[in-house]
Structure 1
């Protein structure tokens, strides 16, 4: 019986341990890498990512008549991808850039890479405006500009009262489309941009069918509230990608290329216009 008495404490310990609840396995927090989590649609990250997606859309659409502005973000989520960056998933409405009428809704993803490169955007939109109508408006605008016998020049568009001369509305719309490339490329998850004013614009008369303009543009950086001056050179022909090159004061005059302009033609433009910078 002595052996049995010695074994009782051990048996009691085994029975008690069997009845104790096992510790629960900790669930992965929603902010863990690779886990998609909900974003407040009105948060700076969600709204900023939606604007980046629209900058990308406006630039690639290359249509001064089809420009869109952000309406309202309806739904947003974000996922941190280890070694890659932060990816936002968005659903939002848009407005016509000029009339502010409903222009349709969009679905988009915006990846902010860890490496210093532009956000990667994938965007699909539903149009409320007929695409053929947009193309016809672009062609009318193009013909109006092409018939000019003297180069178009202008400054302070809009003026201090927010007004734009009707004759300068087409070059303003082209500035919005072209500057969308700048704002898309320069944006990060913490910094975004608005184009506030065309400080100056000058048209270069060309022998081919394209239209070419030199701009000095003011970008409003958020949330720093800085005003950044950028020089943009833009070439446009309806139905073709925009050709954009720019340099900003904050970038030590580093020339950036947008839209796949051939390096040879780009270099030619630089040599031809350098004295006019």
Structure 2
């Protein structure tokens, strides 16, 4: 899609414009249990909204229905009470865009509770203009196509180093977005956010059951530190069921080796292959 190709380099340039993080501090008084208004244009509000979208993109489990943040309209925040002082809860209203077609498609109301030692807890209600039947039909066509393959689909560098994406690889990118959303949701904090920057390698695993399985190596852009986090990710998709994701991530700014010796069925063991059509 021309729009997606054009937007990717600009988006990565925008990400690189954020300054490195200083000491972790909040732009509001930290009175426990009190609601505080938050600037909708603040970094904290945007990261909380993106945490919601990582969660919903993973839980929706549809490569044909993926959202990215358009604009935060309203945000408030509350620090936990005396017992849970480290917990931060955001209340958000924001608009969303379609990930592939880059159109404004709807809005969400959500809460995000950042916990000390657990993934963020998300509650969200989103409305969108996409036709549900068309989405289901698109997922079905993609799923049946992937399931029918006798030779594994393989590809490298989506997008390439110039930000270009082969049209045939858009659905591979979308499936990687669904799987990596699980990683990014779980790793997000009120101070740290993630974007899917690139699928370095993808290889299909041919199965004899009803599931579709892919091994990915993905690069996640960590904000605001600007570090790239490489993750081996295994995605198993059965239509109308939750997508199952297994992953291992290298330390920040360290590449994962192709084939780390883990058992078959884990996210490791992916090998570089020649690019295949999709």
Q: How does 1:56-205 map to 2 (within 5 A)?
A: 56-82=55-81, 83-84=83-84, 85-113=87-115, 115-205=116-206
Question: Structure 1 residue 31: deviation in Å?
Answer: 4.0
Name the structure 1 match of 2:226. Answer: 225
CA distance 1:229–1:151, shift in 2 (3 Å): same
Deviation at 1:164, TM superposition (A): 1.7
Task: Point out the structure with max Rg over C-alpha.
Answer: 1
* CA contact 1:30–1:36 (8 Å) conserved in 2: no
Whether 2:273 is the aligned partner of 1:272: answer no
TM-score (norm 2): 0.79
Does residue 212 of structure 2 align to residue 211 of structure 1? yes
1:247 and 1:276 mapped to 2: Cα distance? 11
Please say if 1:249 is aligned against 2:250: yes
Work out the CA distance in 2 between the residues paired with 1:219 and 1:235.
Answer: 20
Distance 2:269 2:190 in 1: 35
Structure 1 stretches of 5 or more lacking a match? 1-28, 254-269
SS at match of 1:250: coil
Higher relative helix content: 1
Query: C-alpha deviations, 1:77-114, integer Å up to 9, x for none?
Result: 0001123311000000000001111221000000011x
For the 8 Å contact 2:149–2:206, the answer to whether it is kept is no
| Superposed displacement of residue 149, structure 1 | 2.2
Deviation at 1:273, TM superposition (A): 4.5
Deviation at 1:42, TM superposition (A): 0.6
What do you get for the CA RMSD once the two structures are aligned? 1.8
Q: Which moved more, 1:122-131 or 1:173-182?
A: 122-131
Which residue does 2:13 correspond to in 1? Answer: none
Distance, in Å, in 2 between the alignment partners of 1:151 and 1:74 is 44
User: Aligned equivalents of 2:152 and 2:190: distance in 1?
Assistant: 40
How far 1:218 moved relative to its partner? Answer: 0.2
Runs of 4+ in 1 over 4 A off after TM superposition: none
Residue equivalent to 1:20? none
The superposition leaves residues 25-46 of structure 1 with CA deviations (integer Å, 9 ceiling, x where unpaired) of: xxxx964111101000010110
SS in 2 for 1:126: strand
The CA deviation at 1:169 is 1.8
Name the SS of the counterpart of 1:200 in structure 2: strand
On the 8 A contact 2:67/2:97 being kept in 1, the answer is yes
What pairs up with 1:18-57 in 2 under 5 angstroms?
31-57=30-56
2:225 and 2:99 map into 1 onto residues whose CA distance is 24
Residue 168 of structure 1, CA deviation: 1.9
Q: How many residues align?
A: 231
**1:190: Cα distance to partner?**
0.3
3-state SS, counterpart of residue 264 of structure 2: helix
How far does residue 276 in structure 1 lie from its aligned partner after superposition? 2.4
Say which is worse superposed, 205-214 or 144-153, in terms of deviation: 144-153
Q: State how far apart, in whole Å, the 2-side matches of 1:166 and 1:37 are.
A: 45
